[in-house]
Amino acid sequence: MDPDVNIESTYDSSSVFFCRVCSHGPLGASKYLFGHKSKKYIPLYKCNHCFSLFTNPREYTNRSENKFQWQGGIDYFLQRKDKTMRTVTRILNTLIGSNGGCGKKFLDIGCAIGISLIAAQQFGFEAHGVEPEIHIAQYAKNELKLNVRNALFDRNLFESNSFDFIMMNQVLEHVLNPKVFLADTITLLKPGGILFLSVPPADWLRLKLSNLTISKIRKLDLFYDPDEHVNYFFQKGIKLLVQGSTATFDGIYHPSKTRLFFYRIMHLTSGSYVIRKPYSI
């Protein structure tokens, strides 16, 4: 840490003393991360029970959908359109099969311009999306003619037990109350429905890499955006979040069976998980 830079927390301390996953605490700051947006050193809190780590920007507590601005803009998502289509198609093909969406409903929470909805429609789904950034949501609705709501996610946006497949990709790491957020999401699943959850992967290896000089390469640095990423979940933390809901943890997802086998024996994670709501609920 640069001794000439003042440590000024941008955090609401009332939200960081106890683990957001398992409620253990109080938690102490394990290290300080430099926020490139806030230009401040930000405390990182660690739970020794579930290994989850947390930060807590004060500005998050009063955010609305109109305050969200994605720096990459619409062009960022258009440039990644083909890659996103391939990724979502592969996920759906693996989990439901080529015709598995016929007569069923799909929801993407944090859908951006809605490329995942286009992929889901090709599987026969009636596709819906929620996107908090107003300009991106408007592009999805007006230009791509997709069923996207500009809003922060809320369970009251939709009826309970109404979706067969929900995708939540790179969202939960931004949420101040992940336990409630995940439970509300699962409420929207029909019995037998699937939630595909993806977060930045956190495990013992990535934690070590983040402490090396090479971690300045963004892809390897777990803590590259502490201003926006307020939660860092190990697999144990995800399992505990699911245990507190009406769903079951099905396992890690990765398109490569070889990579998946390697992750399991090395106790690593892809950061992508399959969660199912039992028919008995």
Would you state the pLDDT for residue 22? 93
Instruction: For residue range 154-189, list pLDDT tens digits in order.
Output: 999 999 999 999 999 999 999 989 999 999 999 999
Going by pLDDT thresholds of 50, 70 and 90, the confidence category of residue 64 is: very low
Q: Would you say residue 192 has pLDDT above 50?
A: yes
Would you state the pLDDT for residue 38? 80
Instruction: For residue range 222-260, list pLDDT tens digits in order.
Output: 888 888 899 999 999 999 999 989 999 999 999 999 999
Would you state the pLDDT for residue 1? 43
Collect contacts of 65-71 with beta carbons under 8 A, ≥24 apart. Answer: 65/132, 65/133, 65/134, 65/137, 65/150, 65/151, 65/152, 66/134, 68/132, 68/133, 68/134, 69/133, 70/112, 70/133, 70/136
Q: Would you say residue 211 has pLDDT above 80?
A: no
Would you state the pLDDT for residue 69? 57
pTM of the model: 0.89
Would you state the pLDDT for residue 13? 44
Would you state the pLDDT for residue 49? 92
Tell me, which fold does domain 63-276 have in CATH?
A: Rossmann fold (3.40.50)
22 or 220, which is more confident? 22
In the chain, % of residues over pLDDT 90: 66
Would you state the pLDDT for residue 9? 44
Instruction: For residue range 100-149, list pLDDT tens digits in order.
Output: 889 999 999 999 999 999 999 999 999 999 999 999 999 999 999 999 99
In the chain, % of residues over pLDDT 70: 84
Would you state the pLDDT for residue 70? 56
Q: What is the mean pLDDT of residues 209-227?
A: 71
Going by pLDDT thresholds of 50, 70 and 90, the confidence category of residue 39 is: confident
Q: Would you say residue 4 has pLDDT above 70?
A: no
Q: Would you say residue 10 has pLDDT above 60?
A: no
Would you state the pLDDT for residue 164? 97
Range with top average pLDDT, 53-67, 202-216, 265-279: 265-279
